[in-house]
Amino acid sequence: METGQVTILGSGSAMPTFQNSPSGQLLTLGDKSFLIDCGEGVQLTIRQMALKTGRLYSVFISHLHGDHCFGLIGLISTFSMMHRTQPLHIYAHADLQKLLQPMLDYHCQELSFEVVFHPINPRKKEVIFEDRTVIVETVPLKHKVPTCGFLFTERHRKKNPDTGEFFYQLSKRYAYISDTMYSEKIIPQIDGVDMLFHEATYTDEYADRCRGTMHSTAKQAAEIAKAAKVGQLLIGHFSARVDDHNIFLREAQEVFPETRLAVERTTITF
């Protein structure tokens, strides 16, 4: 059976702590790798874990709050120093290119590879990437700025032995639900995924802050996972207000037992 893997590069929220860096994940499906969000510290974790990035061609940025994209310019610069030649494709809100291009022009004038921007509409559900083995769709979310999650679906080309015709067989599915208020609207789109990452910025103790900051609690993330009948729930984007992450875990597992923490520098198979 095919397996997917996600490596946690950062699982904190906006304020870095001794435990957590801001958001970043490296998803591997088959022979392809995808970077999801790129907060400060992402490239450091990649280097510390000696992760291979030769097959990393695409980056998906959920929204333009700094803790999800401040690490991009450093990562691109480092890739150039490593003499990367393959183009790097970045899928994000159109404003990212306006923000990043001046820094590229100033700091990366002799870049060894091409950076290709693909503007997306975070408020619209649509396929933004598709090749022979992977499809990526946006999942519109409810946050202070235009924000979307991403649904990754692996597929394999098969041949029908009876007719000789080729068809696609869907395999692993991974949903990344970034910063968002509790929203049942996403449930149909992520129904039955093998693994769901859902932000869990707060515990119930700070539930009142969710309305103002437009985030979710661990319990709310678990309620989404239960309603969507997912295989596993992965929670992260932890607030710096809570030191003991096991509180997040206990709250979520009371609702959805198949929950685990997004612990930095770990790789999870699903």
Task: Give the residue numbers marked as catalytic.
Answer: 67
Task: Say if CB 175 and CB 231 are below 8 A apart.
Answer: no
223 torsion bin: left (phi>0), alpha (psi -120 to 50), beta (else) = alpha
Task: Say if CB 64 and CB 95 are below 8 A apart.
Answer: yes
Alpha carbons 144 and 223: distance in angstroms, whole number: 22
Q: What does residue 235 show for φ and ψ, rounded to 5 degrees?
A: -115, 145
Task: Say if CB 186 and CB 224 are below 8 A apart.
Answer: yes
Task: Say if CB 192 and CB 209 are below 8 A apart.
Answer: no
Task: Say if CB 227 and CB 1 are below 8 A apart.
Answer: no
Strand partners, 56: 33
